[in-house]
Every structure is written in C-alpha cells, then in structure tokens.
Amino acid sequence: MTEETPTDVDPDAVVEQYEQQLNDVLATVEDPVPEADDGITLELAGLQLGRRDLLKTGAAVGALGIAGCQTRSNAAGTATSSGGSQSHGADHFVPPGEHDEYYGFWSGGHSGEIRVMGIPSMRELMRIPVFNTEGARGYGYDDETTEMLDDAGGYTWGDNHHPALSETGGDYDGRYLFVNDKANGRIARIDLKYFETDAITDVPNVQAVHGFCVQSPDTEYLFGNGEFRTPLPNDGRDLNSPEKYTSLFSALDPESMETLWQVKVDGNLDIMDTDKDGRWAISSAYNSEGATDVQGMTHDDRDWVKAFDVPAIQEAVDAGKYEEVNGVPIVDGTRDSPLNKGDDPIVRYIPTPKSPHCVEVEPNGKYAMVAGKLSPTVTILDIEKLTESSDPEEVVAGRPKVGLGPLHTTYDGNGHAYTSLFIDSQVAKWDIQAAVEAENNSTDPIMEKIDVHYNPGHIQAVEAMTNDPDGEWLISLNKLSKDRFLPTGPIHPDNDQLIHIGQGEKSMELVADHPVYPEPHDCIFAHKDKLDPARVWDKSDYEGEKPYVEESDSGVERTGDRSVHVKTSSKRSEYGLTEFTVKEGDEVTLTVTNIEGVPDIVHGVAIPEYNVNLAIAPQDTREVTFTADKPGVYWVYCTYFCSALHLEMRSRMLVEPR
Ligand code: RUQ
Ligand code: CUA
C-alpha cells in the first residue's frame, strides 16, 4: 500500500480542487427539483456523490405520499375506542434526501427555544433559540442578540408555550412566527426569512403571559394573556389583598412589537384564540374565585370565559378612557366597569364549567370550543350570537361530553373536532354539527377515541389555525412517556405521537412515537410552500446597521485610549486577519463578516478564555465586544467544520501587557 501512496501530490491543489467541487454543488442547492444527473460529482472519502444523490425531492415525494395514504386508510371501524392502533412506520417515512411536506414549529417550554421539525417524518430540522442562549448558533454571545436579551429584561431563560404564525387573509403568510414566554411575561418574534429571533418585548404590568395568539384573519394585533393576578402597579402595594389583584389582557403591534394597550379583568386569564373576522378575542379563565391556593381556585362550578370586543376596546383607548400604568393605557374591563354596562360591553363574561383550559376557534369561524379541563365537556360558543346578544347564556351552542380532562381542540377542516383528554390519555374525535344539535352532555357526537401515551396537552393538526386546514396529520403532545423509550434516568422525554387522520373520513391511526426534550406545549404546522427562507443573508437587509467587512477591510483601528475595533472577513479557510494585537485592558470590538456566497458554509469565531463565540452564516456580519484583560496569546478558531482545512482556519489575538 505504501508504494502506491503518491508522493508528488500538492496538498494545496487537492484542497482547492475539493473546494471548487463543493462550491459547484452548493451553488445549485436552491433548486428544489431534481434534474437529470448533470455530471457534477463531489469526491470525498472515496465516494462519488452526484447532485441527484444530494438533492432528491419533488415528484417522488408526491407519489409516495399518495401511496402512503392509501395504505394508511385501511384501519378498521369508525366508532370504536381503539386501544390497539398499530404502528405503520413506513407511512410517514420520508426517504433520505427528500423533503417533508410541512414545517412544524414546536415550542420548547422552559428550554426557551423553538424547534423546527419536518412533518410527517418528525425529523428535527433546526432549533431557534429565543429566550435561552445557545452556543451552537452563537445566540446570546454576539452584541446584537445579547442586547436584545438584555433589553427584554436580561433573564437567562423563558418558558415558551404557544407558537403562532402570522396570517394574511386567514392563511399563514410565512413572515413571522411569534411565541410567548410564560415565565417572564414576554412575547418574541422570529423572522422566517432567516429563522432567527429578531425582537422580544417584555410586556409591562404582567407576570406569566400564558395564552397567546395572533389576530385572524390578518395579523394586526398580537394578544397575550397575563395569567397570574397581581397588584396594579405591582410596586409593594396591596401585597396581601388578593381581592385587589388583577390580570391583564395585552395587545401588541406585530411590526413595532410595542405594547399598545391592556385590559384589566376579574379572575385569571388562560388560553385564547381570535375569531376569523378580527372582532373577538376569546379567552378561557380559571379562578373566578380570586383565590390564591388550589382549593380556593377550584371551589366554584363555573368560571368566566371572556370575550374581548377588540374594535370597541381600541375605540375606548382612542377616546382616552383608560388609566396609564408604566406607560401603557389600561382599559377597565372588570364586570363593574362603566365600559361593561349597557348593551355593548367591551368584555363579555360567559359562565363555563369548570376551570376551562383552552379556546380554539374552528376554521369556519362560527364556533369557539372551550375545553372544560375539570369538566368532561367542551362548551361550544356561537361567535355570531356573541356579536348579537348581550346575554351570555344565549351564546352557548352545545356541550358534548368528550371524556375526562379535555384540554385542547384541533380541526381537520371537514367538520370534525379533535380534543385531547389529559386524564383519559386519549384523543376524542367528534362531529361539530352533531354536537350543536345534540343535548348538552350527550356522548352521541363522539365518533371515535384513540389511546395516546400518555396524558396529552396540546394537539394540533396541520394548518389547523388557517381558514382551510389540510387534515392528514395530527400530533398529540403527550406530557409523559413512562415506559415507551429506553430509560434515560429520572427525567424522561415527553412523547409526541403522530396520528394519521386523513380527511376525517377514516379512523385515526397512531403512526409514530417521537421522544422530545422537555417540554413542548404546543406546535403549529405550515405547508412548505408557505415559507421561503433565505439560503444566504442578503446584506442589504442590515445595511446601515452593521458593516460588511471585505477581505481588504480587515484590520485593527484604535478608537480610543482603551478601545480598538478589529475587523476581519472570514472564508474557507482563513480569516482576513491571521493575527491582531491589542493592549491589556482594551475594550475590543470584533466585527466579522462571512464573505462566502454559497449556502451552508458557516464560519465560527471562538476565542478561548474570552467567552467569545460567534456563528456567522454566509454574507452575514456579527460583532462582539469584550475586554482583553489577560495578557497573552489567544488562538482564534473556527467552530463550524467548514472545509478540509477547517482545523487550520485560525487567527491569533496577541494581548500586550500594558
Ligand atoms: S398550555 S398544555 Cu400553555 Cu395547554 Cu400547556
Ligand atoms: Cu471556517 Cu471552520
């Protein structure tokens, strides 16, 4: 073997050849449709990979998808309690190199992140840090994201529950994903061009923004529910007078992300949704008792669902009918408020059994479903009656008995509702029209139940929040996995289960178990055609905010007695500066641009012992500021495996003693 080893190979030429091949392949990555093999191959580790091998998508997926549906629809029976769902792994299998049909966005609970998954494969595609810091993406390490997190309160974690996609005309428009932070009362926006968090608002006057949604059909407002009742303002007054605590419904502007106004109400606020016409935001609630412990909070048989008349509230704000607390106009929406007297109260209080948890409006916008949680029923509210009638009792259109512990409801777009049953560990499918026509507490509208494992919270079907859901897939987000996976110590994963629902004409079928890291609450799915993420940064998007450092701009500029600005480009396999010198005690601002034009070549910047960690995607610039307080030599290295000479991609920071 040794005699065959070529001795006259120029390593630089080999590397150059590989990188040219890589460039050629990556340059065509944006084309989503496979073409006839175009002869471009990438030689690595002795393998010849054609472009087709790397980029299989399209027609083949469609054909397999249809075949999959046909085999899926053979489950027997339509109205049985099905404990024996079989797993058909192949049904949701997406072959290597092919794409999923849907993007799924999962909230990460108290991990503070969003997870992006492909549906139906359930493959994790990406994580988007939001309220957490994340080394792999340099989030919370560069100046920009650090400042954003600091300005939003400087908390180091968040508890994100309810992701929501921006809508235009009742459909996902692919611009933004929003999510709440229950822990620190914040709302964040993720730019879906770059899949990055671009704004976080710390909502004044509230603790625990729990219920959260965007306004349908056009996202003109974001709505967040303050779940915990507190004194207003919470500045040391009324400490032990719970009867004076209040909770607030907040409206934000999705563009400026400013808190526009708030409405104070009696009792807690929990989950909410809006109608499809831009008038009502409807919120579930518990603790109408105004208690501070669990016995007190669950004492009464009914709590008050609240329907907020958004245009009427906006009118009250415009007319100056508010008090201002911490810079936010607060409108009085309590039951005794003058604004709630007369025929057009700004908030309607609808008695509902018992500690109801969710509100989810069905795709036609006719009904809102309120799951009873401690009552085995779902209360159906007729939204049109809400508009016409000031008698809350008239608004209730039906109340099917779905099972124990109903929490959340989702839709297939064909007249069926699917409700998660936390206590029964089941999903109940029921017929909406039949439930409206049936007597209250009837089980007749229930078509079918399927066991899930175990204790589901949210469930979500694909495109379920649009006016025109797709059906096909439903995910049950189960809180407990118990014995379903290899044990991993005392903290178990949650279990997200994929259920095939077709168009609602067939039995539900459990297709896959999927362990998830703690602790998603909710998810939302958009068809892949509704998103158009950038493959590389468009530098005009940050022009004027931060520089674009060309190779020739690389250098060190002293900006003060104790401050320097270091600018460097980065590309395979070198930084624009192979070394730079600063003085002990200097405040160093390091600006790095990735000048690569091809997708998927990210460069990192790590400086040992200075907590510096940047991740810079092609055509992007990131900056970090730190104090060079320890004299010595510090290697600067690239953290992303970007080329054959990735390990050699280095610079040196020399910190001269003062
Ligand atoms: S919530 S299930 Cu925010 Cu219903 Cu968690
Ligand atoms: Cu650049 Cu590794």
How does DSSP assign 285-332, residue by residue?
---TT--SSHHHHT-SS-EEEEEEEHHHHHHHHHTT-SEEETTEEEEE
Please name which of 581, 643, 355, 475 lies closest in space to residue 105, comparing C-alpha atoms: 475
Range from 110-119, 135-144, 249-258, 384-393 carrying the lowest mean pLDDT: 384-393
| Overall domain count for the chain | 3
Does some domain include residue 585? yes
Does some domain include residue 393? no
Residue 355: the pLDDT is: 80
Ligand 1, atom 1, lies closest to the CA of: 521
Contacts of 109 (CB under 8 A, 6+ apart): 159, 160, 161, 518, 519, 520, 521
Whole-number average pLDDT of the chain: 89
From 356, 371, 399, give the residue that closes a domain.
Answer: 356
| 121 has a pLDDT exceeding 90 | yes
Tell me if 642 CB under 6 Å of ligand 2: yes
Please name which of 270, 281, 277, 339 lies closest in space to residue 303, comparing C-alpha atoms: 270
Ligand 1 probe mutation, 407, 419, 455, 480, most atoms within 8 A of CB: 407
**Could you tell me the distance, in angstroms and rounded to a whole number, from the CA of residue 199 to the centre of ligand 1?**
23
Does some domain include residue 176? no
Does some domain include residue 226? yes
Segment 239-249 mean pLDDT = 94
Three-state SS sequence of 519-587: CCCCEEEEEHHHCCCCCCCCHHHCCCCCCCCCHHHCEEEEEECCEEEEEEEEECCEECCCEEEEECCEE
Phi, then psi, of 74 in degrees rounded to 5: -95, 5
CB 409 within 8 A of CB 395: no
Ligand nearest to the CA of 605: 2
CB 522 within 8 A of CB 460: yes
Does some domain include residue 225? yes
Does some domain include residue 365? no
**Could you tell me the distance, in angstroms and rounded to a whole number, from the CA of residue 458 to the centre of ligand 1?**
6
**Could you tell me the distance, in angstroms and rounded to a whole number, from the CA of residue 522 to the centre of ligand 1?**
7
The residue among 39 and 178 whose pLDDT is bigger is: 178
Q: How far apart are CA 165 and CA 254, in angstroms?
A: 11
Q: Which atom of ligand 2 is nearest to 643's Cα?
A: 2
Number of Cβ within a 10 Å radius of residue 197 = 24
Q: How far apart are CA 206 and CA 248, in angstroms?
A: 7
Tell me if 646 CB under 6 Å of ligand 2: yes
| 118 has a pLDDT exceeding 50 | yes
CB 376 within 8 A of CB 403: yes
| 72 has a pLDDT exceeding 90 | no
Residue 255: the pLDDT is: 98
Q: Which atom of ligand 2 is nearest to 638's Cα?
A: 2
Compute the C-alpha angle 504/505/508, nearest 5°.
60
Tell me if 402 CB under 6 Å of ligand 2: no
Contacts of 538 (CB under 8 A, 6+ apart): 619
| 396 has a pLDDT exceeding 70 | yes
| 38 has a pLDDT exceeding 50 | no
Range from 253-257, 293-297, 431-435 carrying the lowest mean pLDDT: 293-297
From 322, 356, 390, give the residue that closes a domain.
Answer: 356
Per-residue burial over 353-374, b = 16 or more CB atoms within 10 Å of its CB, e = otherwise: bbbbbbbbbbbebbbbbbbbbb
Tell me if 115 CB under 6 Å of ligand 2: no
Ligand nearest to the CA of 183: 1
**Could you tell me the distance, in angstroms and rounded to a whole number, from the CA of residue 602 to the centre of ligand 2?**
7
Spell out the alpha helix ranges (H) of 604-644: none
Does some domain include residue 426? no
pLDDT band at 609 (very low <50, low <70, confident <90, very high): very high
Q: What residues does ligand 1 touch, defined as CB less than 6 Å away?
A: 161-162, 210, 357, 407-408, 457-458, 521
**Could you tell me the distance, in angstroms and rounded to a whole number, from the CA of residue 475 to the centre of ligand 1?**
14
Q: Which atom of ligand 1 is nearest to 182's Cα?
A: 3
Ligand 1 probe mutation, 161, 358, 452, 516, most atoms within 8 A of CB: 161
Joined together, the tokens standing for residue 288 give 């109408």
Share of residues in the chain with pLDDT > 70 (%): 88
Segment 356-362 mean pLDDT = 93
Ligand 1, atom 2, lies closest to the CA of: 457
CB 420 within 8 A of CB 458: yes
Does some domain include residue 258? yes
Ligand 1 probe mutation, 272, 273, 423, 522, most atoms within 8 A of CB: 522
- Tens digit of each residue's pLDDT (9 = 90 or more) over 215-233: 999 999 999 999 999 999 9
Q: Which atom of ligand 1 is nearest to 211's Cα?
A: 3
Q: How far apart are CA 125 and CA 117, in angstroms?
A: 5
Q: Which atom of ligand 2 is nearest to 640's Cα?
A: 2
CATH number of the domain enclosing 652: 2.60.40.420
Residue 30: the pLDDT is: 52
Q: Which atom of ligand 1 is nearest to 358's Cα?
A: 4
Quick one: residue 327, left, alpha or beta (phi over 0 = left, psi -120 to 50 = alpha)? Answer: left
Residue 452: the pLDDT is: 98
Range from 72-76, 278-282, 283-287, 458-462 carrying the lowest mean pLDDT: 72-76
Residue 560: the pLDDT is: 98
Q: Of the segments 78-87, 198-207, 378-387, 498-507, which one has the largest average pLDDT value? A: 198-207
CB 213 within 8 A of CB 272: yes
**Could you tell me the distance, in angstroms and rounded to a whole number, from the CA of residue 459 to the centre of ligand 1?**
10
| 447 has a pLDDT exceeding 50 | yes
CB 474 within 8 A of CB 427: yes
Q: How far apart are CA 514 and CA 529, in angstroms?
A: 25
- HSE-CB at 90 with a 13 A cutoff on CA atoms is 8
Domain range for 42: 11-75
Joined together, the tokens standing for residue 442 give 């009837």
Contacts of 91 (CB under 8 A, 6+ apart): 68, 71, 72, 120, 500, 511
From 46, 75, 104, give the residue that closes a domain.
Answer: 75
**Could you tell me the distance, in angstroms and rounded to a whole number, from the CA of residue 502 to the centre of ligand 2?**
45
Ligand nearest to the CA of 357: 1
pLDDT band at 54 (very low <50, low <70, confident <90, very high): very low
Ligand 1, atom 5, lies closest to the CA of: 521
**Could you tell me the distance, in angstroms and rounded to a whole number, from the CA of residue 521 to the centre of ligand 1?**
5
Query: Residue 397 belongs to what H/E stretch?
Result: strand 396-398
- The CA–CA distances, whole Å, from 540 to 108, 237, 544 equal 32, 50, 9
Per-residue burial over 214-233, b = 16 or more CB atoms within 10 Å of its CB, e = otherwise: bbbbebbbbbbbbbbbbbbe
Segment 559-581 mean pLDDT = 97
Residue 235: the pLDDT is: 95
pLDDT band at 26 (very low <50, low <70, confident <90, very high): low
Q: What is the CA radius of gyration of the chain?
A: 28
Q: Which atom of ligand 1 is nearest to 479's Cα?
A: 2
Ligand 2, atom 1, lies closest to the CA of: 603
Q: How far apart are the first and last CA of the chain?
A: 56
Number of Cβ within a 10 Å radius of residue 124 = 15
Work out whether strand 586-594 and strand 563-571 pair parallel, antiparallel, or are unpaired: parallel
Per-residue burial over 576-585, b = 16 or more CB atoms within 10 Å of its CB, e = otherwise: bbeebebbeb
